[in-house]
Amino acid sequence: MNALELIQHTFQLTRATGRAALMPYFTIGYPDLPTSFEIVGKLAESGADLIELGIPFSDPLADGPTIQHSTQTALKNGVTLQTCLRFVQDLRQGGLTTPIFLMGYYNPIFNYGEERFVQAASESGVQGLIIPDLPPEEADELRQHCRKHHLALVHLIAPTTPVTRIQRIAALSQGFLYVVSVTGVTGARKSLPPHLFEFLHEVRQLTNIPLAVGFGVSTPEQAASLGQVVDGVIVGSALIEVVRQAEQPVQAAGTYLSQLRAALEDRVRE
């Protein structure tokens, strides 16, 4: 089973049980490299269906204060693109089988070399890439490399994306379509945007690709509510904030994710 097939299989399994896939985001190297390694392992144990790992970058345009803080900390810890590739490889050698997406910005990938990076990511055990500052229209070469190595290149849409462009982006995205819930940066929010569910229903009518929603999801209740209309729920800033405040960050991350997973499953049983 190649990387794309594994992603498809994962969404098929969660769909068969009537719930959305749970996809936590975590920054590699936060609060330090060994602790982040333990946290990712704990996320897999605690119910993550897929995992999104952040590559630290000095100018993370799509990220709010919480993830910006985590990436700056990771950079101070000396985390590089090569560190992130080794990180995934070590996870795989340690027995982690959960599908992994690397989320990073284009400049480090360009400097590393697109084809070289995609091949290295594939060999390390990555299933997909999420690059928020690379427009789909400018990703043809990277997409070709991803197809060669069976990696998913995931694209993003927002509530402001016109219908015709949503259709075009959905046709280009692989693995799933990342639906940004707000017209802004990442960050936990007390409530979801009032028109989000209407937007999600509209997008669902335009494409059959799995939809995963992120940016702003923080509580089990929000995750459960979204899980009724999308195929995947992505939680990042709230998880990192839990880790930041915890005396025992690994255990805290596991407990928080278990609560999200339980909420998704409870909604199925209702």
Active site residues: 52, 63
Helix (H, G, I), strand (E, B) or coil at 235: strand
Task: List the one residue out of 59, 80, 51, 79 whose CA is nearest residue 232.
Answer: 51
DSSP state of 143: H
**212 token code pair:** 């995963």
What is 51-80 written as a DSSP string?
A: EEEEPP-S--TT--HHHHHHHHHHHHTT--
Asked if residue 232 lies in contact with residue 210, where contact means CB atoms within 8 angstroms, the answer is: yes
Cβ contact 66:189 at 8 Å: no
Spatial contact of 127 and 3, defined as CB atoms under 8 Å apart: yes
Please, are residues 120 and 75 in contact by the beta-carbon 8 Å criterion? Answer: no
CA distance 129 to 134: 11
Question: CA quadruple 27, 31, 33, 37: dihedral positive or negative?
Answer: negative
- DSSP single-letter state for residue 20: P
